[in-house]
Structure 1
């Protein structure tokens, strides 16, 4: 005991900083431990999952499937040919909803789709058939599809058709309309409907012929990987990805037997749409996450999505079950005279990019994104560093140059989210809350905590049932 009492004290502190400060004020040396109590969740549920002997192997399996998945663009076809659409059915982003629970931009997109398909002759007529339940609504995710913002997909819209050459999965997404007043942002005026008609009659058929004529499929996963090397993060910044896609497809588009004016219009449209690639990146991410579905014991998130009213997540260990909470409203930068009061709560399937480990998780790869969504470059770097604490792996295919080409944080772990109390970061566009407005800005948002609380409880219950 004598050496212990005669030597200077060695103090290790965990918890609130006030204790460390008080000891240092007395001249003692203190080593602080970065420890914190669980962020949320019942202690019994946290313990159940932490002690589940299946968890490590199950999460490893889910991650291995996700990382191994590939993504090839193999065709472009109308939705009615590739999606299991019933008579007068519209797909939408996020968890299931009804006309009564739909937000302003979702209602605007549904109205526009009814007008586009000829199911209604006026806005009032569209509202009537939707309110009467004459149009069936279902989630894109229930049909192996994803859609940005409102995500509304109707039978006449052309779809990117992607396959996973490793696991054999398929995923689909409609074509990107560009920015501003567009259907996915809830706008439905003549400009929107005219553009959709052109995409149906001209752009879709051109892209179909071009994609089918290529000697080999476009490797979309490879484009995603290159984008991160070129300043994109794959969600709100797709400039490099869109240009690479134009480079890959333009020779085949030019060779299509079609009027030169149509070919010129198609190339101009793609070249002027910086988000053109997003609708290829999203189904690519979905392919990877669908490959990781249905792994009993896994706590990995396979879906994060929002419909403008609710935010929903799914996990590998609980299959197709949704865990939902009220969608938060993004915080960011606004267009023109729009402000916070004009923004609708979070909306869109595009959070599949963050679920895959890019987008908001890879902000460090795209410091220029802060000029579009707000924040600072140090914020972008810190966000990516924080997301490593919530994930199960690093994706070696999606490397971040400024972090020494470290793989992006991949595989959100419900247990780690609960332990840290940190929520996934999402970069997103903002739709106007009033139907017909269109885009009002872009910003940052997080899921509601209760989605993860529900998933934690369900996973713990499944673990107890499995013994």
Structure 2
């Protein structure tokens, strides 16, 4: 007589487990998936690389060791060396001919802001000719930009520093939501707001930052994750803590009281204001892990509205790209999927560092903004642990027994499991000038990870050949 098993382990599809449980036998389900198609040989080559384990340990440790401090606010011409006609943008490199609607709209607004044209729509021939203007990714200048990510010489930038090493990163000031330059809008009110930010808000913040005690951005991130923010699409607590740190110095800065009051109202009414500090803080940490030979850790994820690109610690500044995907989420007013542009922005640097979509469990209220459910948020954070090298002990998730956020995306784990990084994001209108149309959830195109893996395998095989006696 055959004994009934006390439990059954089911690997892969749930059909067998469902049938077993229907007969009152417990089944332990293992969510196993085959590696991404065509990656098997490259996975073997990278797994055999003697540098990989130590390199990944070094990369993760270097990232976790960074503390970001807000040290200044200054024009991009001053801190990035941007000259007239030079524009930065989000994502991997791209030219005007392939630029998405929101990126084009942001560039058109930037051209008018800099006085290159009187009307933003007159900027189109300027960019088509390309003789007096140039485009470059923010990442290539140690900067990050949300959504279109357009930075022009006169825009004011947050300056963050790792005071142990002196390394710095930069990000523009946050305009708010809706019809704003970073979503591709360029109407007169957009330009009026940007000019006020350049004439009043930037100089006032510079005086406050220089006159206040050091603003520990990493410390604020640590606290806000305990207060319901995930630091990508929810930054309410972070914005209020920044105001707490800077308000006294703003009030005593000597600026006109009406200007100070307007600035306080603007920041206090813009829950996303802290995002533009969270992003360069994440980049500052991840840049510490760049150029570590043999490491398979992702150090940047970025989108320009046409392409989605990643960079890896062990492959230098090379971009691995694929088509940007359309987010699945909630739309504003009468907008729908046909109105939305594919994913855009450098803000996925937050997920690359282990917050944002990776920390959705710490901010379950985010589902009201990007869609999904609270159980989905918890499951997402748990799932991201399967593709990361470790946890961040600074950034913990109370509802998961204060487990650290999943940190250090590993190209090999993504290829081996087929699990893609989860990003929560705003959605820009696909037509230049429209602005924001919604917010949602998105993943990178799957093919970029096998591309990165193939390059890592090529480098690994090259090192193996160099070690083999002739």
Paired residue secondary structure (1:441): strand
Gaps of 5+ in 2: 465-470
Matched, 1:69 2:52: no
Residue pair 1:149, 1:184 contacting (<8 A) in 2 also: yes
1:389 to 376, 386, 392: 386
1:97 pairs, out of 94, 99, 118, with 94
Deviations 1:281-314 (A, max 9, x none): 1000000000010011110000000000000000
Q: Distance in 2 between matches of 1:435 and 1:412?
A: 33
- Shift in Å, 1:78: 0.4
Kindly report which structure 2 residues correspond to 1:262-277, keeping only aligned pairs within 5 A, or say none: 262-277=259-274
Counterpart residue number, 2:321: 324
CA distance in structure 2 between the aligned counterparts of 1:166 and 1:41, rounded to whole angstroms: 43
Matched with 1:204 is: 202
Q: Which of residues 181, 184, 206 is equivalent to 1:183?
A: 181
1:172 corresponds, among 161, 170, 173, to: 170
Match of 1:378 among 369, 375, 378: 375
Q: Can you give the 5+ residue segments of structure 1 that lack an aligned partner in the other structure? A: none
Structure 1, 86-95 or 153-162: larger mean CA deviation: 86-95
Distance 1:158 1:283 in 2: 14
Say which of 255, 261, 269 aligns to 1:258.
Answer: 255
Decide whether the 8 Å contact of 1:343 with 1:431 is kept in 2. Answer: yes
Q: 1:76 to 1:6 in 2, by over 3 A?
A: closer
Q: Is the 8 A contact 2:343 2:427 kept in 1?
A: yes
Contact 2:84 2:153 in 1 (8 A): no
Q: Counterpart in 1 of 2:468?
A: none
Partners in 1 of 2:92 and 2:343 — Cα distance? 13
Match of 1:109 among 87, 100, 106: 106
Say whether the 8 Å CA contact 1:84–1:143 is kept in structure 2.
no
Q: Which residue of structure 1 aligns with residue 298 of structure 2?
A: 301
Between the aligned partners of 2:432 and 2:105, the Cα distance in structure 1 is: 4
Q: CA deviation at 1:31?
A: 6.1
2: distance between equivalents of 1:361 and 1:275? 18
**Compared with structure 1, are the counterparts of its residues 27 and 280 closer, same or farther at alpha carbon in structure 2 (3 Å cutoff)?**
closer
1:367 equivalent to 2:364? Answer: yes
In the alignment, which residue of structure 1 is the partner of 2:467? none
Distance in 1 between residues matched to 2:290 and 2:59, nearest whole Å = 7
Secondary structure of 1:409's counterpart equals: strand
In 2 relative to 1, CA 29–54 (structure 1 residues): closer, same or farther, beyond 3 Å? same
Q: How does 1:105-144 map to 2 (within 5 A)?
A: 105-133=102-130, 134-144=132-142
State the partner residue of 1:88: 85
Residues 222-247 of structure 1: per-residue CA shift (max 9 Å, x gap): 00010100000000000000011011
Give the Å deviation of 1:51: 1.7
Q: Residue 334 of structure 1 is aligned with which of 297, 309, 331?
A: 331
> Corresponding residue for 1:429?
426
Shift of residue 202 of structure 1?
Answer: 0.5
Worse-matched range after superposition: 159-168 or 199-208: 159-168
- Asked whether the equivalents of residues 76 and 157 of structure 2 are also in contact (C-alpha less than 8 Å), the reply is yes
**Cα drift, residue 136 of structure 1:** 0.3
Aligned to 2:48: 51
Query: Mean Cα displacement is larger for which, 18-27 or 46-55?
Result: 18-27
Shift of 1:128: 1.0
Shift of 1:35: 3.5
Q: Cα gap change, 1:259/1:166 in structure 2, threshold over 3 Å: closer, same or farther?
A: same
Identify if the C-alpha distance between structure 1 residues 371 and 461 changes in structure 2 by more than 3 Å, giving closer, same or farther: same
Q: 1:30: Cα distance to partner?
A: 6.7
Query: Counterparts of 1:334 and 1:442 in 2: how far apart (Å)?
Result: 7
> Once the two structures are superposed, what CA deviation does each residue of 1:149-183 show, in whole Å capped at 9, x if it has no partner?
00000000000001012333110000000111100
- Whether 2:30 is the aligned partner of 1:36: answer no
RMSD: 1.8
Q: For residue 411 of structure 1, what is the aligned residue in structure 2?
A: 408
Distance, in Å, in 2 between the alignment partners of 1:34 and 1:238 is: 33
Counterpart CA distance in 2 for 1:390 and 1:404 is 20
| Deviation for aligned residue 1:85 | 2.2
In 1, Cα distance between equivalents of 2:54 and 2:405: 21
Residues 47/253 of structure 1: CA separation in 2 closer, same or farther (3 Å cut): same
Distance 1:450 1:157, change over 3 A: same
Kindly indicate whether the alpha-carbon contact (under 8 Å) linking 1:390 and 1:413 is maintained by their aligned counterparts in 2. yes
Q: Which residue of 2 aligns with 1:228?
A: 225
Deviation of the 1:68 alpha carbon: 0.4
Instruction: Give the deviation of 1:317 after TM superposition.
Output: 0.5
Q: Secondary structure of the equivalent of 1:449?
A: coil
Q: CA deviation at 1:124?
A: 3.8
Query: Take 1:16 and 1:122, find their aligned partners in 2: how far apart are those partners?
Result: 58
Q: Do 2:425 and 2:439's aligned partners in 1 also have CA atoms closer than 8 Å?
A: yes
